[in-house]
Structure 1
Amino acid sequence: MNDSSTLVTPAEQPMTWSGWGDPTLRPGLSPRAEAHLARWIGPLERHTPPVALEDVRTSPSRLDDTTRAALTAIVGQEGVRDDHRTRVEHAGGKSYPDLLRRRRGDAVAAPDAIVYPRSHDEVAAVLEQAVESGIAVVPFGGGTSVVGGVEPERGPFDSLIALDLSHMDRLVDIDEESLLATFEPGMRGPEAEAALRRRGYTLGHFPQSYVYASIGGYVATRSAGQASSGYGRIDEKVHAVRLATPAGELSFGRAPATAAGPDLRHAVVGSEGLLGVITEATLRVHHAPEQEVHEAWAAPSFAAGAEVLRELVQSDAAPDVCRLSDEDETRVFLQQTEGLKGSGFRGYLKLRGYGEGCLVILGWSGRSDGIALRRAAATRILREHGLLRLGAKPGEAWAHGRFSGPYLRDDLMDRGVFVETLETSTTWSRIPTLYTAVRDALTDTLTGLGTPPIVMCHISHVYESGCSLYFTWIARQDVGRELEQWQAAKQAAGDAIIGAGGTITHHHAVGTDHRRWMTDEVGSLGVAMLRSLKDTLDPTGILNPGKLLPDPDAG
């Protein structure tokens, strides 16, 4: 049984400006994993640590005294900050390009000031002032975006503020009879979960960014948690939402279901701060689980494992967590996980006729008696397909380290390694084509640049009609051309996704990184619909310039 207390402990340290999370918690590569990686991409010798904070370059703040005074009158003296550290911390999110720039000392695009509202009314007043003063506003939650979603892009404006919502961090209300909880947007995942657990409930939403991501960020980016097969994605949880926009207040969510026209809540969910600022979100919650169980199985191939997951979900037997790693990701996981002898374990799989083996992680959450029934139903299907039960140890190892992946990226970047992720989804019938297309695009592109990669993949979210594919790739950095290397890989993979019938993003959102494919995703008329919403709610265009929508000349 997994100790669920690890899911409800708030982060004790703020997010570091140069990487992920609390640097004192950084696990680093295991010796076995380092040796294994070196055999694939070469020795990990070059050390490229980030510069010192005082050496990070920023431009002088361009916020004029009149506007600064007006903002201070709204949020108070302590609510407007422009010190060096705070500006650097808000100079982007946690994408690979974001970190490359800051680690090298480049934060010249940092916001001119960071404003901390404490209420819906203060958010509305700040937006009104921003329109009057002609300054751009980037809503800022946990700062965990990996697709450029909080980049300080000014668009046509000379000045820009980050609107940091971390002071709006209350659990406003729980309607226990209706199983609904209302949150302010700046409440982080662990704080929200801890507040709910004290009352006997859970949100059940655990993305990899959970420790630092915020409730408002979940909703604004249409987030999907690791237990989405059981608890559902965030868009399935949104009952009501309150939005402050430059044009006024919006509030949606009168009833659990309605036929009163299109569901306008979903114009807000996934809007990425372009239409307004989420100031309250009412979400469906669940009774806190009595038990949590994780276990592992082995499939003989990625295709065979995918077929089993398809049958599980289409037979209504899918666990809350359904995760299948391909052969390469399985190999890396076993090398990195302490207590599992990677080479010996693979030898055992080969001896049993499972080749390299593909790791399947399954997790159940809920009442003990319910878990027993659900596990029995799933086990029957797994055994019918010939999967090999590996027991609890690999499953619990995954659960224990489920939020530590971004720390490993920091360690690899210190060693001159290019490491990046992307995710997509499509129908079950298209999964083999999409999987091959993206792997080939990344492998061919990076090999052509002289930096052959390891390309790994897993399925992490399943639906009756299809599933997600989450890719991770690792290669030597192309020294002196790191951003160009990233751009080439991203372009090739994005084009391959669109060509193979996938979505350009399943749960990371669009931000700056994916907006060039939005016309492919929704069509030129769909983009025009989004622009019309933007023009109605934010007619001067102050909110989060450069995100979600493609350049006007691009369609």
Structure 2
Amino acid sequence: MTEPASRTDAMRTGDVKHMKWWGWGVEGVGFHHEDKPGFAPFVHRAVGLDLWAGERTGRPDFSQLKVPASRAPEEFLSVLIGIVGPGNAVVDDLSRVVHTYGKSLRDLVRLRAGEIARTPDVVVYPADEAQVQSVVDAAVEADAVIIPFGGGSNIAGSLEPHPDESRVVVALDLGRLSRVLEIDTDSGLARIQAGALGPDLEAQLNNRGWTMGHFPDSFTHSSLGGWVATRSSGMQSDKYGDIADIVKGLRVVRAGGVLVIRAVPSASTGPSVREMVVGSEGRLGVITEATVQVHRLPESRGIYAYFFKDFDHGLAAMQEIAASDVSPSVTRISDAHETGFSLATSKASKGIAKKAQAGLMAYLKRRGWNLDEICLSFIGFEGDTAHAKRQKSVVDRIVRKHHGIGVGKGPGALYDQKKFDTPYIRDFLLDHGAAGDVSETAGPWSKLRGIHAAVYDAADSAYEEIGRKGWTMCHMSHSYHSGACLYFTFAFVFGDDPLGEYDTVKRAIQQAFVDAGGTISHHHGVGLEHAPWLEEDISAQGVAVMSGLFEAADPGGNFNPRKIVV
């Protein structure tokens, strides 16, 4: 049976909402440390930054930016306006700056410094797939560049025009394509337009009793099309799968027609074109629609917190859970450095909660645990009540076997509430002249400890090279039978050359991934940021095959050129 879209899901019209041009999220929302007494002392110990003594940078002044003028000819603009209507093809400076970069630290440093070498020349907001097709055909005929744009949350350099691009650049914003079109209730398949942002998408599904179960860190401000284009992973991918597992069908607008991948459970039809599109970052066309696997809203859902004596014990427990017959929605463990950070970002406990926390730490100390080495873990369970209870009992036994202890749902509930807020901390540190950024990898269980150690060593050497006091921390997430994702955060106070210093640290970490047996990116994509290591990851022949695909599928180089491979 198929459920069509309801009247309340009608296409959103008017202005498409975007994040603020100079940082993450919306105006008026940000991170504050005054109610977190452990945060300022922690930051001072970690990177030497005194949050009480230094001044916080205010909002940058947009009027001071030198924005390159649009190069779009009037004749071409008239064609685009004729397709999408007045007001939906714009060339104002703010719109073009918003669509110039993603939200990586490199992007924000350049924006705040006024470094804008090249912007899109026009931003287009099509209302439906037919308009996308007309825009694409017009752009290809004019030999223009087309860069698809969803929520703008990318941190791998997948959105920016190349500074040397001489052709007209069109930012094709999918924000008006935001509907859940229909749900096949027999199959658990939903057709959804690619511009739907995470909260809008889930709200429409939840209203009908369904969920997609895909919750990346960027969920609040990222789109379905962006998830597909970058091979996204979500916080509950252990249960629901990565986006490559979730997406079953696709519609991709290319010059002269639409590439259609039908939603079937499996197929033996040669090399998977679906897999070619997933992770292609706009180089094969504009994703306008995806058919995704959806699930009924679970009867029971809970995220529980556990402590382990150290990271080795925690990793061993996560590996055994992954090999067991249970399927938690979340299996995550922070190393000692990240655990310390998490505790430092907590609000001050009062009354009974304060006594309970003090009692827990005293208990762990009596057990002989070094409190500087303890690791905090979150494990989630979903499904009918009996199923979730059974899964938790199995996990509890595994945790005890590896000398871990459970501390209930309280910390897990807090994690659940704050899980999308981390980018605001990055912006807060940037306001104080400090870098705070992330790099993630994946590797087999047998190599994870080696990768973890190698990254710490590489980062420490890089901090020494740039002469800055640095901090590195990590958590394991996204478990698979054969391995898991390690997600690293690194921080330091900028010196005289912010991007040069950042490059030194970032390069060291990325190289450590490859050298220790990990991949260059687990779910952030390649873009420009990770492209230098692609050949080391997939081999020279792998790059040759990928280059051949892009050249054959887009001989004119009109679709987001020079991303992934140059």
Instruction: Flag whether TM exceeds 0.5 (same fold).
Output: yes
CA distance in 2, matches of 1:332, 1:344: 20
Determine if the alignment matches structure 1 residue 33 to structure 2 residue 39.
yes
2:323 aligned to which of 295, 314, 326: 314
Residue 530 (structure 1) shift: 1.4
Contact 1:95 1:145 in 2 (8 A): yes
Alignment of 1:398-417 (within 5 A): 398-417=415-434
Alignment of 1:48-447 (within 5 A): 48-153=57-162, 156-246=165-255, 248-339=257-348, 346-356=361-371, 357-447=374-464
Counterpart in the other structure of 1:491: 507
CA distance in 2, matches of 1:59, 1:471: 35
3-state SS in 2 of match to 1:460? strand
Counterpart in the other structure of 1:544: 560
Residue 23 (structure 1) shift: 3.5
Contact 1:51 1:105 in 2 (8 A): no
Contact 2:37 2:347 in 1 (8 A): no
1:458 aligned to which of 465, 475, 479: 475
Determine if the alignment matches structure 1 residue 467 to structure 2 residue 493.
no
CA distance in 1, matches of 2:253, 2:220: 26
Paired residues, what number? 539
Contact 1:28 1:407 in 2 (8 A): no
2:531 corresponds to which letter in structure 1? R
Residue 157 (structure 1) shift: 3.2
- Write out per-residue CA displacement over residues 68-107 of structure 1, whole angstroms, 9 at most, x where no aligned residue: 1111111111110111221121120000010011122333
1:533 corresponds to which letter in structure 2? L
1:15 corresponds to which letter in structure 2? M
Alignment of 1:500-539 (within 5 A): 500-539=516-555
Q: TM-score scaled by structure 2?
A: 0.92
2:410 corresponds to which letter in structure 1? K
Contact 1:253 1:265 in 2 (8 A): no
Residue 31 (structure 1) shift: 3.3
Residues 147/345 of structure 1: CA separation in 2 closer, same or farther (3 Å cut): farther
Contact 1:412 1:418 in 2 (8 A): yes
3-state SS in 2 of match to 1:31? coil
Contact 2:37 2:348 in 1 (8 A): no
- Write out per-residue CA displacement over residues 214-233 of structure 1, whole angstroms, 9 at most, x where no aligned residue: 01011111110001111111
CA distance in 1, matches of 2:155, 2:165: 24
Residue 136 (structure 1) shift: 1.2
2:289 corresponds to which letter in structure 1? E
CA distance in 2, matches of 1:156, 1:84: 18
Residues 538/390 of structure 1: CA separation in 2 closer, same or farther (3 Å cut): same
Ranges in structure 1 where 5+ consecutive residues have no aligned partner: 1-9
Q: TM-score scaled by structure 1?
A: 0.94
2:42 corresponds to which letter in structure 1? H
Counterpart in the other structure of 1:4: none
Contact 2:439 2:510 in 1 (8 A): no
- Write out per-residue CA displacement over residues 446-489 of structure 1, whole angstroms, 9 at most, x where no aligned residue: 122111211000001101100000000111112x3001011111
Residue 516 (structure 1) shift: 0.9
CA distance in 1, matches of 2:163, 2:128: 25
2:447 corresponds to which letter in structure 1? R
